Structure 1
Amino acid sequence: MIETLILAIGLVLLVEGLAWLLAPSLIETLLEALRNLDIDARRLVGLTAMAMGVLLVWIAHWLGA
């Protein structure tokens, strides 16, 4: 179980680092756009991201990961 958690965190950091490496100006633009959203919209973005993450984890589990 702990190894799966470590793997998941490692994959998140890999994807985040790749985005910063390949498109740092795009990330800056995205952060500025998020900064301009009101707090409820930011919470909705966070909730949507969490729901997508749960769905992906459930699909991975269903596929036997």
Structure 2
Amino acid sequence: MTTTVWTALALVLVLEGLGPMLLPRIWRRMIMTMAQTPDRLLHRFGGGLVVAGVVIFVMVSLHRG
């Protein structure tokens, strides 16, 4: 289980790093747009990501048996 968590974290870091590395202008524009987005919308978006992550984690865990 611990190896799986570290592998998942490593994958997140790689994916997060691809944006600024490959498309810095687009990434910067996206960050500026997010900075102007109302807090309530960011809360909902973040909550949706958390729920999606938990659902995927549970599905993968159940599939492994």
Counterparts of 1:19 and 1:35 in 2: how far apart (Å)?
Answer: 17
For the aligned residue pairs, the C-alpha RMSD in angstroms reads 1.7
Q: Deviations over 1:6-63 (max 9, x none)?
A: 1110010011112221111111111111111111111111111112212222232244
* Runs of at least 4 residues off by over 3 Å: none
1:10 maps to 2:10: yes
TM-score (norm 2): 0.81
**Percent sequence identity over aligned pairs:** 22
Equivalent position amino acid for 1:60 in 2: V
Structure 2: runs of 5+ lacking an equivalent: none
TM-score (norm 1): 0.81
> Between Structure 1 and Structure 2, how many residues are aligned?
65
Per the alignment, in what secondary structure is the counterpart of residue 53 of structure 1? Answer: helix
